[in-house]
Amino acid sequence: MRNYSKSVRAAFIAGGLSLLLLSGSLITTNAHSSLPVALVHVTQADSAVPYTAMGHTEKKEYMRDVLTPRFGQMFMAFDAKRFPQMKCVTCHGNGARTSEFKMPDEKLPKLPKSDAGMKKLEVKIPAMVKFMRDSVAPLTAQMLGMKEYKCEGCHMLK
Ligand code: HEC
Ligand code: HEC
């Protein structure tokens, strides 16, 4: 097994520091909870092994040590009541129980297939959709070292 964990942790700490320094300009206000939602830039480039090149065990460690705490902060800042703590199961649903961690997972809320359905959802829960679009999807792409991460990467469609 490659020993990437230390450098990943160091990169995470460095990311946290730059967040502190830059927080003034990186924080956006979220209408839903009126708590600031920080858009952090912890990039895959900071880690020794890119996510896509990691083996299953390394992916698990990266998810546990870097990705989950980062998303935990972000979800809590968005809605601390609904997301008091982020765990594997928050994103992985069934996959966390079977230890397979395949995404998308059917336990996550399913999103409408049609544009019309998506529009309706945007009217019904605008803050949530905006949070997903502007914060969750971009951070996922960054943390996995991908150009873009689609909603369907996590959510099944119905
Ligand atoms: C914020 C959401 C989120 C959380 C929290 C999360 N993961 Fe993940 N995880 C993902 C996504 C998205 C993928 C799929 C990445 C891809 O498309 O390749 C993934 C992929 C994985 C994979 C690789 C699966 C495969 O098929 O290769 C493993 C292993 C994994 N996660 C383990 C964990 C563990 C263990 C935890 C808890 C410590 C965790 N994850 C927490 C979002 C999350
Ligand atoms: C990294 C995984 C991930 C990605 C990518 C992602 N989501 Fe989510 N989404 C979640 C999680 C986790 C929840 C919270 C589920 C819960 O309440 O337990 C959620 C919740 C939601 C909800 C709330 C559903 C409800 O019934 O309250 C909506 C709507 C949503 N996401 C839309 C989107 C959209 C639109 C995109 C793409 C722009 C997207 N999501 C991308 C993980 C993700």
**If you measure from the C-alpha of residue 63 to the centroid of ligand 1, how many angstroms do you get, rounded to a whole number?**
6
Pick the residue whose CA is nearest to atom 41 on ligand 2: 151
For ligand 2, say whether the CB of 109 is within 6 Å of any of its atoms.
yes
Q: Would you write out the chain's pLDDT as a tens digit for each of its 158 residues?
A: 444 455 455 444 444 444 444 433 344 444 444 334 444 445 554 557 899 999 999 999 999 999 999 999 999 999 999 999 999 999 999 999 999 999 999 999 999 999 999 999 999 999 999 999 999 999 999 999 999 999 999 999 99
For ligand 2, say whether the CB of 136 is within 6 Å of any of its atoms.
yes
For ligand 1, say whether the CB of 63 is within 6 Å of any of its atoms.
yes
Q: Which residues, at least 6 apart from 53, have a Cβ–Cβ distance to it below 8 Å?
A: none
pLDDT of residue 49: 86
Classify residue 145 as left (phi > 0), alpha (psi -120 to 50) or beta: left
What does the chain come to in residues? 158
